[in-house]
């Protein structure tokens, strides 16, 4: 496992396990335990996923020392604002059954995220959070926050995969000292990506699957990746990417697959903003 070092010196595993859309508590607990057993040490959840308690139980039952596990959770839009963010953070901490969070992220750049950020800065100062960051912040929003916050974001988790490579955003994050982290690193299976002839041919050279080729491509770009699966064999397979390296030619070929936009979600749409804001995780 490789690690990246965030701007505040914190070490973060470069490959992690996510639990988005695993709402069944028993199943979530089971797959997180399988992921930890396989060797994952970064576990990514969110208040909006409604499974923090299951993640917390799996971490406790694993028997792995707390300091070896990097736990991420996220603040939902509904809980933006200074006071609300402090309450929401404590709720997440209680649900997870932990004394601190390794990485706390603002889930979407909506509602009063500046007020939330001030609360997160204070929680970071108090040692309740080891690192703070954001999700789905495009370059203009990320730059604005970096220029106006007392403590700049350390991570930005965004959609990133061969069809949407975030080239300009990646350069912007490097300039700002913000670590990019990919959600949907396998394009959520879009465009029959797992049977893509270009990626299949590259995989044959190394005896690797298309998924492993894509993950290795991310790693060599300096991207932290979050994987989700409920199948033990895939959980293990996705971790088996550390014994080969793509050539510059391979990287360039994959680089040509970029469409330059998302086909999963349009964050620039008013309809998307309405939909996200309408999703409530509590009364």
State the CATH number of the domain containing residue 109: 3.20.20.100
Query: What is the residue whose two structure tokens read 């736990």?
Result: 71
Question: Active-site residue among 3, 40, 49, 279?
Answer: 49
Among this protein's residues, is 49 annotated catalytic?
yes
CA quadruple 15, 93, 31, 223: dihedral, nearest 10 = -10
The pLDDT assigned to 211 comes to 97
Report yes or no on 71 lying in a domain.
yes
Q: Which domain holds residue 232?
A: 3-278
Query: What is the residue whose two structure tokens read 């499974």?
Result: 51
- Asked if residues 71 and 98 have their Cβ atoms less than 8 Å apart, the reply is yes
Report yes or no on 210 lying in a domain.
yes
Report yes or no on 283 lying in a domain.
no
Report yes or no on 160 lying in a domain.
yes
- The tens digit of pLDDT for each residue in 218-233 reads 999 999 999 999 999 9
Residue 269 in tokens: 């749409």
Q: Which helix (H) or strand (E) holds 170?
A: helix 167-176
Report yes or no on 86 lying in a domain.
yes
Q: Which helix (H) or strand (E) holds 217?
A: helix 210-220
Count of domains in the chain? Answer: 1
- The tens digit of pLDDT for each residue in 138-160 reads 999 999 999 999 999 999 999 99
- The tens digit of pLDDT for each residue in 233-265 reads 999 999 999 999 999 999 999 999 999 999 999
Report yes or no on 240 lying in a domain.
yes
């Amino acid at each position: 496992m490789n690690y990246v070092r965030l701007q505040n010196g914190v070490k973060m595993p470069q490959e992690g396990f996510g639990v988005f859309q695993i709402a069944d508590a028993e199943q979530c607990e089971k797959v997180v335990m399988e992921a930890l057993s396989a060797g994952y040490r970064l576990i990514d959840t969110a208040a909006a996923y409604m499974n923090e308690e299951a993640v917390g139980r799996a971490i406790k039952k694993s028997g792995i020392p707390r300091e070896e596990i990097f736990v991420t959770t996220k603040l939902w839009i509904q809980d933006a604002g200074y006071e609300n963010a402090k309450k929401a953070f404590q709720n997440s901490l209680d649900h997870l059954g932990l004394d601190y969070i390794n990485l706390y992220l603002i889930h979407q750049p909506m509602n009063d995220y500046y007020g939330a950020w001030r609360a997160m800065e204070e929680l970071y100062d108090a040692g309740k959070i080891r690192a703070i960051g954001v999700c789905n912040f495009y370059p203009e929003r990320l730059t604005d926050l970096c220029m106006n916050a007392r403590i700049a974001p350390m991570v930005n988790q965004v959609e990133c995969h061969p069809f949407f490579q975030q080239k300009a955003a990646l350069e912007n994050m490097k300039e700002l000292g913000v670590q990019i982290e990919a959600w949907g690193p396998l394009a959520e299976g879009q465009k029959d990506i797992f049977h893509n002839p270009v990626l299949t041919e590259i995989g044959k050279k190394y005896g690797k699957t298309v998924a492993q080729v894509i993950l290795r491509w991310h790693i060599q770009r300096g991207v932290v990746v979050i994987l989700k699966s409920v199948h033990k064999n895939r959980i293990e397979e996705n971790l088996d990417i550390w014994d080969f390296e793509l050539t510059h030619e391979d990287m360039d070929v994959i680089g040509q697959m970029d469409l330059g936009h998302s086909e999963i979600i349009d964050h620039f749409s008013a309809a998307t903003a309405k939909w996200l804001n309408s999703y409530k995780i509590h009364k």
